[in-house]
Every structure is written in structure tokens, then in C-alpha cells.
Amino acid sequence: MKGVEFILASWRSTFAETVGQLRRWFQLEKTPCCTMAQNNSSFPVKLFIYDLSRGMARQLSPVMLGRQLDGIWHTGVVVHGKEFFFGGAGINRCLPCGTILGQPNSVVDLGYTEVNEDLFMEYLDSLAESEYRCDRYNMFEHNCNTFSNDVVQFLTGKKIPSYITDLPSEILSTVLASGSFAVPTPPLLLGWRLIEADMTVELSSPSS
């Protein structure tokens, strides 16, 4: 009988020690586990930047506009495995680099967002029915870069580079300063709307 009691006492002691070790282990692992969960619920956000003029702006702008332009910029926001942009046909999406523009000239890493894909798509649907309907597109005042800036702020609280968003006003101010009230449409500007509208032809299925 004493032998049984001794065995039970030893078992209780071993069990208590094991439970204590498990508790300490879970306590030590608590912070890393929380961190891992947080990382898994965050999604990278990138800005793809394209020069619609394909280098013509840098070469021709001093002659045509009287000032240097490094590019005529189109942007798309890449998140949740897709590229989103706004053009003459409204809000569109495709696989990254899936438009006729091919590879971007540069990519800006904008960090991470905790907005999941379902919530993001609801947000885009609301934009598509309001300020980003296709009829709201304006080459200078309400374009792809306006859209990218709003979307990036929604996702991360950041803004896209100012040299992109300031470009239309810089062009218009140059035109007004020259004394001409007609907006010029040299080849380096023609693509701003036409290419953005034509890109929808090359998109993968909207359901992708």
C-alpha cells in the first residue's frame, strides 16, 4: 500500500512539474505567436510607376513645354496579388505587370496594410459607384494617380510621391504662364488618356 502511495506521489510531482514547464513554455512563446499572427494578417502594398511617354517626355518636353519633364506617369497599386488602377474605363485590375505597359519603370514599397481582400474589394466597389466612375475620369484633375493616392492612403495612411501627383498642375501652370489657354496635346501627352483606356483590352479576367 505504501508502495502505491509512493508511486502516486511521484506521479503527481512529475505531472505538476510537467504542467509547470508547459505553462512557462506557453508564456515564453506567447509574444512570438502573437507577432506571427500579426504578420500573417498584414499584406504588402506596392506602387508600380510607368512612364506613358516611354522616354519621350524627357527628350521633347523642353521644346514642347519649355521645361523638363522626366516622364508622364501612370501608377497602379499592387496589393493582394493584383494590380489596381483607374482610367477612362473606370477602376480596373489585372495581375501585376499585366497591362500593355509591361514592366514598371520603378516600384515603391509602401509597407503593409491590415485591410483584408474582402474589405478592400468592398471599398473599391464603393469608389466605382461614386467618385471613380468611368465618367469621372479627367486627364489632369482626376486620373490614375489621384486614384492611386486615395487607395494608398486608405490602405497605409501614406501618400504616393508628390512628383507624380503634382505633375498635372505643373503642366497646366506652364501652359498658363506661356500665355496660351489651350491645353497642348503633343505626343508625350496623348497617351495619358488613350493608353489608360486601351489597357483594359489587355487585362486578365476581372474575376481573376
Coil, strand or helix: which one is 200?
A: helix
- The whole-number pLDDT of residue 177 equals 55
Residue 52 lies in a domain: yes
Can you give the pLDDT at residue 63?
Answer: 80
Is 171 among the domain residues?
yes
Residues 33, 98, single domain; the answer is: no
Work out the number of other CB atoms within 10 angstroms of the CB of residue 178: 11
Same domain, 32 and 52: no
- Reading phi first (left if > 0) and then psi (alpha if -120 to 50, else beta), residue 108 is in beta
Instruction: Kindly list the distances between the CA atom of residue 58 and the CA atoms of 52, 87, 154, 179, in Å, as whole numbers in the listed order.
Output: 11, 23, 32, 23
Is the residue at 18 inside a domain? yes
Per-block mean pLDDT, blocks of 10 residues, the chain (208 long): 48 48 40 39 97 88 80 96 94 94 96 97 97 92 95 98 89 62 47 50 38
- What are 159's three cell numbers? 501618400
* Domain co-membership, 101 together with 189: yes
**Predicted pLDDT at 6:** 46
The pLDDT of residue 69 is: 86
pLDDT value at position 155? 98
Helix (H, G, I), strand (E, B) or coil at 79: strand
**Residue 107 to residue 98: CA distance in whole angstroms:** 15
Query: Shortest CA distance to 75 belongs to which of 84, 88, 64?
Result: 84
Residue 74: closest CA among 36, 37, 100, 42 = 100
Structural domain boundaries, residue 1: 1-40
What DSSP state is assigned to residue 206?
T
* In a shared domain, residues 22 and 58: no
Are 21 and 121 contained in the same domain? no
Kindly state whether residues 146 and 87 are assigned to the same domain.
Answer: yes
97 closest CA partner among 203, 207, 205:
203
What global pTM score does this model have? 0.70
Number of domains comprising the chain: 2
Domain annotation covers residue 208: no
DSSP character at residue 138 = B
Residue at 207 is within a domain: no
Tell me the catalytic residues: 74, 144
Task: Establish if 98 belongs to a structural domain.
Answer: yes
Measured distance CA(109)–CA(152) in Å, rounded: 11
- Residue among 148, 158, 155 at smallest CA distance from 104: 148
